[in-house]
Amino acid sequence: MLKEEVKRQLTLRGICVVIPTYNNERSILKVVLETLSYCDNVIVVNDGSTDSTTSLLKKIDNITLLSYSKNRGKGYALKVGFMKALEMGFAYAITLDADGQHYPKDIELFLEANKKTPGALIIGNRNLEGVDRSKGSSFANKFSNFWFCVQTGKFLSDTQTGYRLYPLRKLYGLSLLTSRYEAELELLVFAAWHGVELVSIPVNVYYPPRQERVSHFRAGTDFARISVLNTILCFLAVLYGLPLRLWRLLMVFIRTAYSLLFFVFFSLIIFTPFTWLYIKLGKMTEKKSFRLHQLIYYASRFVIMRHGVPGAKFYSKFLANVSFDKPRIIICNHQSHLDLMCQLIFTPKIIFLTNEWVWNNPFYGFMIRKAEYLPVKEGIDSLVCKLKPLVARGYSIAIYPEGTRSMDCKIGRFHQGAFYIAQELGLDILPMYLYGTGKVLPKKTYHLRKGLLYIEVDKPLSQAELQQMGNCQQQASAMRKHYKERYEEISNRCEQMI
């Protein structure tokens, strides 16, 4: 990835870089300038330097420089940097050391890891093979790894690395942070206790010759501080960390059990029997069919907007003043069983093309059929013939161009069927974009996760606009490209809120 593209994506995802420094006159200029070549938003915390570090930093443009006269320690410097990053509106902060041991080019690795696991604390696992390290340094890392495992039940192979990406809204225990090196271990432990995902990625490391190294680690004093801290954290692990973990597991069970009970009670005991009775009483007319659609519409609005999906926050947005009175072909990316309900909140006048197993479902298949939803297994020309009278009655047709739910929420290949149907029926295409449904209820899983649900409605595309893209296959290809770009923009924005 080009440096300018890394810069662009870091900015879009709300990621800055925080560099704490104390008496690093030999390396600070190179570290900051090289970091600026990868990231436009760099916060440098000058922790009371007494050498020429201060004057060197003042010569650098385009950085946010925070200075104070007295040396307070790395933990305090990190806290100051994090608070400033939050004040400036950033969602994430990458931290790297000012002594030159971390390579700024590895910032791209943290960016990619953040895109794969948004909201996670990313730890740079240093490749220390062949590095000339003191026995004390090697022991300190193993010592720290061991106690971290004892305190959290999780294993990390490098808990002393300063190269990390922090989700700023998940910095637990920040007010209790100690002022020196052990603060980084505290941040990891508190994050693990609160269920923040910890992800380790390999990074490169540079150790200069021993005679050139600058270290402010005081072996006796700092080992004593770390030992005292580990003792305290072990007690807190029993009194606070373990109960918190058990509580989280309990909440996952309650959330999933409640959702299941709600589905059984609301859907199978109330809504489905009532709908079945309504369908059976009297002849199924066009007016009665529309009332069935209204029942489905109000039920979906109740579940998504009033009751809510347990553990999830729902947001919707219109990019244009769209009326649903006019029939259109509605296309949307497909991630989860929740997608359909999210789309149903906008209008009762909508027909979905579904997979055969949905159409034949023993619990609600009869309702799907009576609502005149159609299975996609039918030939395209047969579908067009059946859709014409529905469009004449004012119904929009909802189609998932990918054809199936995405396993990883990425935009899959678009089939041309939706564009062919739009062309044959002379209808505009209305794009919708979904985010989060595949994270809250992923494909092939049966328990709900905490998260954010977001749906966005774009402006309709007329047949004239579609024809400019080419034939149906070219339209599908062009719209997939557009969806990938739009989904990236939505992800960048939403994943700053996680």
User: By residue range, what is the domain housing residue 114?
Assistant: 1-241
User: 373 in helix, strand or coil?
Assistant: coil
Domain count, the chain: 2
How many residues are given for the chain?
498
pLDDT band at 45 (very low <50, low <70, confident <90, very high): very high
Tell me if residue 391 falls in helix, strand or coil. helix
For β-strands 92-95 and 164-167, DSSP reports them as: antiparallel
Share of the chain above pLDDT 70, in %: 95
CA–centroid distance for 476 within its chain? 26
Strand partners, 198: 121
**Structure-token pair, residue 329:** 């072909």
Answer yes or no: are the C-beta atoms of 130 and 207 closer than 8 Å: no
Give the mean pLDDT of 380-398: 95
* CA proximity to 452, closest of 411, 489, 410, 493: 493
Given this model, what pLDDT does residue 264 score?
A: 76
For residues 276 and 136, which has the higher predicted lDDT (pLDDT)? 276
Q: Are residues 423 and 482 in the same domain?
A: yes
Render pLDDT for 317-362 as a digit per residue (tens, 0 to 9).
999 899 899 999 999 999 999 999 999 999 999 999 988 877 777 7
| Contact present, 21 and 98 (Cβ < 8 Å) | yes
Cα–Cα distance measured from residue 407 to residue 445, given in angstroms and rounded to the nearest whole number:
10
The token duo for 439 is 């994270």
Do residue 234 and residue 292 come from a single domain?
A: no
In a domain, 9, yes or no: yes
Do both 303 and 451 map to the same domain?
Answer: yes
The reply to whether 298 and 198 lie within a common domain is no
CATH number of the domain where residue 48 is located? 3.90.550.10
Q: Which helix (H) or strand (E) holds 153?
A: none
Summarised one tens digit per residue, pLDDT across range 223-257 is 677 778 888 888 889 999 999 999 988 988 888 88
Beta strands in 295-369 (DSSP E): 312-318, 329-332, 350-354
CB distance 127 to 205 below 8 Å: yes
Neighbours of 235 (CB within 10 A): 12
Nearest-angstrom CA–CA distance, 450 and 312: 5
